[in-house]
Amino acid sequence: MISKNTTDTAIILAGGLGTRLKKINPDRPKPMALVDNIPFLEYLLIYLINLGIKVFILQVSFKYKIIQNYFGNKFRGSKLIYEVENKPMGTGGGLIFSDNKYNDANILVVNGDTLSEINYEDFFKFHQNLNSDLSLICRKKELINTNFKFCLDKNSRLYFSKDKNLLINSGVYLIKKGVLNKFLKLKKSSISFEDEILITLIREKKVYGYLQNNFFIDIGTPLDYKSAQILIPKYFKDRQYL
């Protein structure tokens, strides 16, 4: 559970179109793709609530009413706030908007299509002890089919690399308030968090990586989505979260 030294608020990036899942999940936002007949987002909320999260800011866009109608403004005692992008602002644009609206000194940000088991209090201490602008949870993976490849230096800073022993982003972040304001100067109607903001901050040596290899699943591809049908229900039943 969350201690007084962490935050009980999380932003979930839930506006994805789910292009790669379109044939499997044609009429729903990607986070609402069904896993054993339960929306993936429900599993994610349940997991984070078990960590102690009390307030969720859901950044939504594509068919967001499906999410809103399903969950309403409260779920299992936690408050749900919807930040609706009528014109898609990109994952980065939505984060900048939220960064200027809420007062938390640091805020937890989670991708809406990944579930990563995290040691939350340890991750928060890591972020604070390094006075990090942005920290993310990363993990080892043998095969990486993405351009976003990085390693950690001896100080746990991220840097881009083509080495064999690479890491992947688990889609869980802690961001210090105000760090994203500089990107307002770009005056872009849409900005990607991973492809623009994160890359810029890594190049500026302002991103730290917290390495762990706990349970992780990404439903972004048909193959991973198929695996999720077995792995996620088992994980939740083993921990009696459902």
How far is C-alpha 23 from the geometric centre of its chain's CA atoms? 24
Joined together, the tokens standing for residue 55 give: 């307030």
Task: Give tens-digit pLDDT for 193-217.
Answer: 888 889 999 999 999 999 998 999 9
Tell me the pLDDT of the chain (242 aa) as tens digits. Answer: 555 567 889 999 987 665 666 667 667 888 999 999 999 999 999 999 999 999 999 999 888 999 999 999 999 999 999 998 776 666 777 777 777 677 788 999 999 999 999 999 999 999 999 999 999 999 887 555 555 678 889 999 999 887 766 888 899 999 998 888 888 776 666 788 888 889 999 999 999 999 998 999 988 888 888 999 999 999 999 998 87
Cβ-based neighbour number of residue 154 at 10 Å: 5
**Which residue reads 């990944």 in tokens?**
114
Strand partners, 111: 13
Buried b / exposed e across 165-201, counting CB within 10 Å, b at 16+?
ebbbbbbbbbbbeebbeebeeeeeeebebbebbbbeb
Helix (H, G, I), strand (E, B) or coil at 207: strand
Q: Output the DSSP codes for 48-77.
A: HHHHT--EEEEEE-TTHHHHHHHHTTEETT
Query: Model pTM greater than 0.75?
Result: yes
Q: Which domains are present in the chain? A: 9-238 (3.90.550.10)
DSSP structural state of residue 1: -
Per-residue pLDDT of 27-53, as tens digits, reads 788 899 999 999 999 999 999 999 999
Chain position carrying tokens 């109608």: 69
Separation CA 130–CA 141 (nearest Å): 25
Classify burial at 134, counting beta carbons within 10 Å of its beta carbon; exposed 0-12, middle 13-18, buried 19 or more: buried
Burial-class residue 45 by CB neighbours within 10 Å (0-12, 13-18, 19+): buried
- Name residue 151's beta-bridge partners: 159
Q: C-alpha distances in angstroms, 115 versus 103, 121, 130, 180?
A: 26, 17, 25, 24
Pairing relationship of beta strands 134-140 and 167-176 according to DSSP bridges: antiparallel
Q: Where are the alpha helices (DSSP H) in the chain?
A: 40-51, 64-71, 90-99, 120-129, 199-203, 222-238
